Amino acid sequence: MRFTESEIDSAMRLRAAGFTWGPEPGQYVFDINGMVRAGSPFQAGVFLINSTNTFESMAGGQEEMFENFVWLPTWEECRAWLRERGIDEERVLEAWKEGRAAGLTDRQALYNLILRLLEGSAAR
């Protein structure tokens, strides 16, 4: 899995806007402070959580893990988050079309929609 620089930057903005997560195996994260010494098989700084215990131990605890890693939600995780909040398919399709017109990836379009929702400017 590859994430664009824009997607990683947006994930950082999502985090700053209050986008919370509970670490689970199968989630991708970006190592903000270079805590992981091993190279990434994906791209620099991007890692897949195989064991939350391993990441928490490496960071020094769950709190430190949240400070040092930012969640990079997949398309599927974004869609699940939006469904859980009752965002209808029409709104998602509209955001996707806007993103396409702007040359964004599908995932980036979803990140932007989530960011707008968190900031309160996309409520319908």
The per-residue pLDDT string of the chain (124 residues; one tens digit each, 9 = 90 and over) reads 899 999 999 999 999 999 988 889 999 999 998 888 888 888 999 999 998 888 888 888 888 999 999 999 999 999 999 999 999 999 999 999 999 999 999 999 999 999 999 998 554 4
Say whether 16 sits in a helix, a strand or coil.
helix
pLDDT tens track for 13-49: 999 999 988 889 999 999 998 888 888 888 999 999 9
Q: 72-101 burial, b for 16+ CB within 10 Å, e for fewer?
A: bbbeebbeebbeeeebeeebbeebeeebee
Say whether 30 sits in a helix, a strand or coil.
strand
Instruction: Tell me how far apart the alpha carbons of residues 95 and 42 are, in angstroms, rounded to a whole number.
Output: 27
Please check whether residue 63 is in contact with residue 74, taking contact to mean a CB–CB distance below 8 angstroms.
no
- Which secondary structure element, helix H or strand E, spans residue 55, and what is its range? helix 52-59
Instruction: Tell me how far apart the alpha carbons of residues 34 and 30 are, in angstroms, rounded to a whole number.
Output: 9
pTM (two decimals): 0.89
pLDDT confidence of residue 124? 47
